Chains A and B, each alone.
Chain A
């Protein structure tokens, strides 16, 4: 029995403590990445309290405990749509407010990915802010929670085909918003010409 199966069994048997211990940290971090750490503490607690109260409704056949918890987390985050949007717009504005952004060439041999990520963050934030919430949900469940199509479908209560199609659409929309990004250089082409 692997870890996931053990958790499923624990959930089915009502050992909610095991579920909590295994999943709280990643669910908290998922929420914190979306709405910030200030809100994450409350929202993550709400997710697990909600899950506990609704544990009788959990059906292992419809999806793993992990996807079920991320589904609740997504719905809880959705209530905070305004905070999430404001955070994305704030991050996005940093780009316009930044002065003297380092040119791409300086990143050619950069080892510190955090510097790269920080430089790209405003563009990514702007692109994420332009997506609709359905697209953003599937995209972030996939990228940040590592959920598969099947798990996303179970988490959001949508058909698998819908999850697959919505994810593809979200990726295309994100790509379109990002413009021409050079994945070899890890920078935007227009930055390189700046």
Chain B
């Protein structure tokens, strides 16, 4: 029986192939690229650059020779030397923050309800974003939040997490701060206090580094990582100098922003601000993706089995579950809970040594009743559940989200207390904002009894899409942070064409 893909294949099926002019134009562009002519790629856009003319309009042979020699020297240095490598600690000077102009007008709503609080507006904010992920949000306190954003301009590459934004007034206004030259973040920022934060990064796209700041991003210390610590993908700092997390085994063959599952992941610990690391490998076949250590000794880790079929990707239905009671030095494997899988990027968070929660992933074949889902095909129906543990992550019970959220796909989960958790993401709930019709809606759900009951949070959205945003900015929430049970900040997902991202909060 045909399905919606067959239907889609008939849409615009009569579009013609390239005519002689298209072939000719492509050959011309290709020839231009081959010749290495400056601006050759701009030829297809029918754009003409004015040619630079020297003062007086004449170029002497000596001047021309000097220009050619200088260009050749730069080229040779780049080719021969390759990208820069950091051999020791690098500390940047203190830089002031530049306040971003306020974009959208805050939506009026009664105090205590969720609403669009503000947005980040700048030409650099997620401009030309190629990747699917939202900015990485970190809120160490109810008033202080940071976002790592994407400022990539490549037409064929992955997103570069190389923008940094800060708010010190509960996400109402935002400033932009410079990121050290050549740095791309590879993990979310983790903050032991409002100003002491650290993250993993890459230096010029090839060298794994550890970044730390003691002043909320005004200046940074960048340290090259030891040879046995690769790209840091997850970091959790309990003090300004003591952090643990996950890192790949080596820094080789890593690409910033390339969203792949690392199969050879190690648990890493530093207690001296990134100078030295203790490295603990996981067991064979365990592709650990996320870890939570609510105390210095107890940790819970979740991941995927990495013996997957290369044609279909990892097994999303059966995960790997580990706990540690010695700060991650040794790990104990437990049976993965039945009824749901780990999903693509499994997530676990623990409020204390006993109480943990994770996002579980359900997929099955066929059609889901008379609601959405399609009539045939493997893994046609997918949604997430939230599972809870009260014994430190050993056994788990799945919790069903409210019926008002039929097919939730939760991206982010945070538990400020043992009983209170917030889950956020998107659901297949159509919405209209102004003239924009969207197939999905941003959703937030909260439980105050460790998952026994949930409430879907209602929050106001603007009557029309604010300037600088696209409708799909409101289709999903990428990250949520709740420094306390009643103070949360969440960030939407924006994409190409959006120069700002909605920020939601329930306080302020």
Contact = CB atoms under 8 A, between A and B. Distances in A.
A169 B270 CA distance: 39
A161 B342 CA distance: 11
Interface in B56-109: none
B343 A174 contact: no
B372 interface: yes
Given A124-B8, A181-B7, A48 B382 contact: no
Q: Is the interface of B mostly helix, strand, loop or mixed?
A: loop
Contacts of B409: 169
Interface in B111-170: 128, 130-132, 154-158
B10 interface: yes
A45 B25 contact: yes
B313 A153 contact: yes
A164 B475 contact: no
B310 interface: yes
Contacts of A117: 10-11, 13-14
Contact of A133 (B18, B34, B313, B472): B472
A40 interface: yes
Contacts of A165: 316, 343-344, 361, 363, 382
Interface stretch (B233-241, B330-338, B434-442): B434-442
Interface string B35-60: 00000110111100000000000000
Interface in B301-338: 304, 310-314, 316
A178 interface: yes
B381 interface: yes
Given A132-B440, A158-B259, A32 B25 contact: no
B12 A121 contact: yes
Contact of A134 (B3, B18, B157, B495): B495
Contacts of B407: 172
A116 interface: yes
A96 B454 CA distance: 40
Interface string A15-30: 0100010001100110
Given A132-B475, A161-B261, A172-B373, A49 B30 contact: yes
A81 B155 CA distance: 13
A173 interface: yes
Nearest to A151: B311
Interface residues of A, number: 81
Interface residues on B, range: 35 or more
Contacts of B41: 46, 49-50, 53
B155 A50 contact: yes
Nearest to B129: A78
Interface in B1-43: 1-18, 21-23, 25-26, 28-30, 32-34, 40-41, 43
Contact of A163 (B1, B16, B313): B313
Nearest to B5: A143
Interface in A20-59: 20, 24-25, 28-29, 32-33, 37, 40-46, 48-54
B260 A177 contact: no
B374 interface: yes
A43 B9 CA distance: 22
Contacts of A20: 26, 30
A150 B4 CA distance: 21
B155 A75 contact: yes
Contacts of B43: 45
B25 A42 contact: yes
Given A29-B17, A132-B440, A173-B428, A49 B44 contact: yes
Contacts of A78: 130, 495-496
The 3 closest A-B pairs by CB, nearest first: A160-B313, A132-B472, A161-B344
Given A45-B30, A120-B11, 18 more contacts: A20-B30, A24-B23, A29-B16, A48-B30, A49-B26, A49-B41, A52-B34, A76-B155, A132-B493, A133-B495, A159-B261, A160-B313, A161-B316, A165-B343, A169-B382, A171-B4, A173-B428, A174-B8
Interface of A: 16, 20, 24-25, 28-29, 32-33, 37, 40-46, 48-54, 71-72, 75-76, 78-79, 81-82, 113-114, 116-117, 120-121, 124-135, 139-140, 142-144, 148-150, 153, 157-166, 168-169, 171-178, 181, 183-184
Interface of B: 1-18, 21-23, 25-26, 28-30, 32-34, 40-41, 43-46, 128, 130-132, 154-158, 255, 257-261, 304, 310-314, 316, 343-345, 361, 363, 372-375, 377, 379-382, 407, 409, 428, 430, 437-440, 470, 472, 475-476, 493, 495-497
10 contacts: A49-B26, A50-B156, A71-B156, A78-B130, A81-B495, A132-B438, A143-B9, A157-B258, A168-B363, A181-B7
